[in-house]
Amino acid sequence: MRDAVTSLIKNYDLTGRYLDRDAIDQLKSYFQTGTARVQAAAVINGNAAGLVKQAGSQLFEELPELIRPGGNAYTTRRYAACLRDMDYYLRYATYAMVAGDTDVLDERVLQGLRETYNSLSVPIGPTVVGIGILNALVREQVAAAGVPTGEYLDRPFDHLIRELSETDI
């Protein structure tokens, strides 16, 4: 897993360039949000189970057909699998937020996810909705804890949503 610093340096090294003003600005931004990213991760860690439970409740309230007979979250086993996956997205989004880089999401979450879900007949649309709900709940919890919010907090969730939505035609 790479962080924003190693990714930036690797990209410049591959092209044989010195760090320019854009690179320095990216590094400044990364370090300026460092404390907030770590504090936000602590808030998420302390509230992860509640965030996942609340996100699941909101998802099934918005899309009740998922928990009705024949729905993809119908039966206790499928319901639990849905919440497990939401916890997985939250955990890896937190890793990406702390690292300031979404590479971990590509490597550990998105690679092969579509194929897995398609083989299990799991719809991607509700997954995207659930990730969006998680993002909103995280933002609320972090703000309520007095931690500055910003693009750093949304970026991992936006990346997951964009990558899953982009190919869901």
Q: Are 78 and 117 in the same domain?
A: yes
Q: Are 26 and 105 in the same domain?
A: no
Q: Are 53 and 95 in the same domain?
A: yes
Structure tokens at 27: 């590094």
Sign of CA dihedral 115, 120, 124, 130: negative
DSSP H helical ranges for 2-33: 4-15, 21-32
Q: Are 66 and 11 in the same domain?
A: no
Dihedral angle, C-alpha 146, 1, 93, 3, nearest 10 °? 40
Q: Are 128 and 51 in the same domain?
A: yes
12-53 per-position pLDDT tens digit: 999 999 999 999 999 999 999 999 999 999 999 999 999 999
Residue 161's contacts (CB-CB under 8 Å, 6 or more residues apart) are 128, 131, 132, 135
Cα–Cα separations (whole angstroms), residue 8 to 37, 39, 44, 123: 18, 23, 26, 35
Q: Are 118 and 69 in the same domain?
A: yes
Q: Are 151 and 127 in the same domain?
A: yes
Q: Are 3 and 74 in the same domain?
A: no
Q: Are 10 and 53 in the same domain?
A: no
Q: Are 118 and 156 in the same domain?
A: yes
Domain span at residue 108?
Answer: 34-166
pTM of the model: 0.90
Structure tokens at 111: 């690679």
Structurally, the chain folds into a number of domains equal to 2
pLDDT of residue 168: 40
What CATH number should be reported for the domain holding residue 88? 1.10.490.20
- Whether the per-residue pLDDT at 144 is higher than 80: the answer is yes
- CA 109 – CA 151 distance, rounded (Å): 21
Q: Are 10 and 39 in the same domain?
A: no
- Asked whether 17 and 23 are in contact (CB, 8 A), the reply is no
Banded model confidence at residue 169, pLDDT cuts 50, 70, 90: very low
Structure tokens at 6: 């190693």
74-93 per-position pLDDT tens digit: 999 999 999 999 999 999 99
Q: Are 95 and 136 in the same domain?
A: yes
103-122 per-position pLDDT tens digit: 999 999 999 888 898 888 88
Banded model confidence at residue 167, pLDDT cuts 50, 70, 90: low
